[in-house]
Chains A and B, each alone.
Chain A
């Protein structure tokens, strides 16, 4: 029976993982991800989930064991945050280059130092080039449903890549939200069993991870790049399927507010909810402003973004990470490159906000729009909320 409950989003994600019937969960505790894997280990302990739970001794091993299990042909799940994701870094590339599907929830958290357990996107932005499909969710319902979508995308024979589902630490992971949990049979209908293409099987011995001599390394990389780029169409297809199955309206890029406005705020992740409120308020006050929300970060859906931004004169791009030495935040960099050389390129104004758990109230977004329209924001980027003597 479909259940409508109020629950912490982390626990909803754990429910989603359970319903995806993974064979192996390999994880290491790190705030603010821990509630997910605590709950999963409880499911395993209670016999509610038939899976091997590997309580590894580090995130490096969490990802290494995930790779081993996926190569054995298992459906694999893990979750991490911040330093844990950074510790996995080396193996993240290997998971995608071996074309091993798996799903990882990243409860986004700032990267040390100084050590901070609070939310921003600096953890995942340091992993832009790992070759994984990377999704961002905005609310609890989406966190639940995109978990199933992530398995379906990664395991699709046209993709066969690992998928990261990003969810803001604390400000989403620890929120109590109303979520609708469908029946298991609905999930089973949406997400078929995993059929690995290659696996470690003595009946058909495969050599996984041979030495990439100069005569093949480039071609091996190309194969992965093509798979990642090609995954965009599959993500779109899976989201369409998800929308039909669960009655949603998810897309790679979504818009809100005035779609023809000169000024649009660009968001990724749960700040989008506050921006939505801000935009609605401004629209209500008769001010023309729109919002563009990015759900798929890798591969970046450039055409879809250009389409969504049609007619915009100015993009106020909210970044949640600093990219030292480059002149703007990672999302702004991405969009500058997307629009480079196009006659319809809007002005890109970059605000780096909510760093290390710094609060950004709804009214601040109204202020950002006002300042951007008056040309009061820096040409490079503005560190929002910075306490400065200058």
Chain B
């Protein structure tokens, strides 16, 4: 369903001001060196600010921010289980909404759910779909590091084709992950929610503008954030942002948004890099042959073409 949602009034983040916006995740968290996931999560909270309630699925971000008696959270935070961040967020939203209506809560805070790719695309898929479909006013953020990292790098449905993980290992009889990455943003967009976007910490203003828009819309919003994991991908910590940028610049992880059903690419890449540049710096892809890489390149090109067609097909007709 296409509808017009005007987000032109939403304030944009100025690059030079980001460092003055406080992250609601404190220093002293226990993420690995060079973790792109906690960085992305921090960026989201820099925009959301202190008037926010966070619901966290079980996973790396939950573990590294909350080992008792220490919490890295400066905002109210709840972790219940692995597969239910969407449902917990729905309950929090409904609870606060009812109390607000009855005059017991003065203001509706931002409600943000964080889940990894396993919590989002696999085990928590149903509860997320339910929360999106029912129209709760919340933002669900998938921090996608493309495998179950917290339990030791097992494949998820969000692991890309060709990646070697501990449960999709490459070997003489296998390329590693032999399925294609589940397209979560498009699946959520198909729910007809007002706002869906992809983002990457390599493009902070793009990411943060999307957070602001997601929080501004009435109803459910979904952000799918590319989250480099040096530990799980076999990459150097210092390269996390560089790799995230390569994912965007190779069109392997294009940055786009879907507002009221209309697709639009938010970061157009002028000189698209070959996927090889992105793959070769990661141990999880080290075993790939030239033929494999050519096959992956074809997939990237096809998916990007599909995205462009979606943009064209859903674009607002030019006014006369």
Contact = CB atoms under 8 A, between A and B. Distances in A.
Q: Do chains A and B touch in the complex (CB under 8 A)?
A: yes
B51 to A, nearest CB: 5
6 shortest interchain CB distances as A-B pairs: A68-B91, A72-B95, A65-B91, A57-B130, A69-B95, A74-B95
A282 B93 CA distance: 57
A209 B79 contact: yes
A68 B77 contact: no
B89 interface: yes
A72 B130 CA distance: 20
A215 B69 CA distance: 9
B94 A65 contact: yes
A216 B51 CA distance: 30
Interface in B55-81: 55, 62-63, 66-69, 71, 73-81
Interface string A23-35: 1101000000000
A23 B92 contact: no
A71 B78 contact: yes
B96 interface: yes
A293 to B, nearest CB: 35
Nearest to B97: A52
Interface in A38-95: 50-52, 54-58, 60-62, 64-74, 76, 90-91, 94
16 contacts: A61-B84, A64-B84, A64-B87, A65-B91, A66-B91, A68-B89, A68-B92, A76-B91, A91-B80, A91-B81, A202-B51, A206-B77, A209-B66, A209-B78, A210-B68, A216-B68
Interface in B195-250: none
Contacts of B274: none
A125 interface: no
B87 A205 contact: no
Interface of A: 23-24, 26, 50-52, 54-58, 60-62, 64-74, 76, 90-91, 94, 98, 200-202, 204-213, 215-216
Interface stretch (B98-106, B255-263, B310-318): B98-106
A64 B81 contact: yes
Contacts of A65: 87-88, 90-91, 94
B91 A57 contact: no
B83 A210 contact: no
A72 B62 CA distance: 19
Nearest to A68: B91
Nearest to A52: B94
B80 A94 contact: yes
A213 B68 contact: yes
Contacts of B66: 207, 209-211
B158 interface: no
B61 to A, nearest CB: 12
A72 B134 contact: no
B68 A68 contact: no
A91 B68 contact: no
Given A58-B127, A68-B87, A73 B94 contact: no
Given A24-B91, A61-B130, A73-B104, A91 B84 contact: yes
A60 B83 contact: yes
B79 A208 contact: yes
B126 interface: yes
A210 B56 CA distance: 10
Contacts of A61: 84, 86-87, 90, 126-127, 130
Contacts of A94: 80-81
Among the interface residues B53, B91, B92, B109, which one has the most CB atoms of the partner chain A within 10 A? B91
Given A56-B87, A205-B75, 8 more contacts: A60-B127, A61-B86, A62-B87, A74-B96, A94-B81, A205-B50, A207-B77, A216-B68
B130 A56 contact: yes
B113 to A, nearest CB: 10
B52 interface: yes
A24 B76 contact: no
B129 interface: yes
A254 to B, nearest CB: 36
A200 B109 CA distance: 10
B81 A90 contact: yes
Nearest to A62: B87
A132 B86 CA distance: 24
Contacts of B75: 202, 205
Given A24-B91, A60-B83, A65-B91, A201 B127 contact: no
Contacts of B74: 205
Contact of B99 (A67, A73, A98): A73
A209 B71 CA distance: 10
A378 to B, nearest CB: 42
A303 B196 CA distance: 59
Nearest to A74: B95
B53 A202 contact: yes
Contact of B77 (A26, A67, A208, A215): A208
Interface in B94-137: 94-99, 101-102, 104-105, 109, 126-127, 129-130, 133-134
Contacts of A70: 91, 95
A207 B55 CA distance: 10
A211 B62 contact: yes
A264 B204 CA distance: 73
A211 B98 contact: no
Contacts of B94: 24, 26, 52, 54, 65, 68-69, 74
A210 B71 contact: yes
A62 B80 CA distance: 13
A59 to B, nearest CB: 10
A98 B81 CA distance: 12
Residue of B63, B77, B101, B129 with most chain A CB atoms under a 10 A cut-off = B77
Contacts of A72: 53, 91-92, 95-96, 99
A202 B84 contact: no
A206 B88 contact: no
Given A90-B81, A211-B67, A50 B92 contact: no
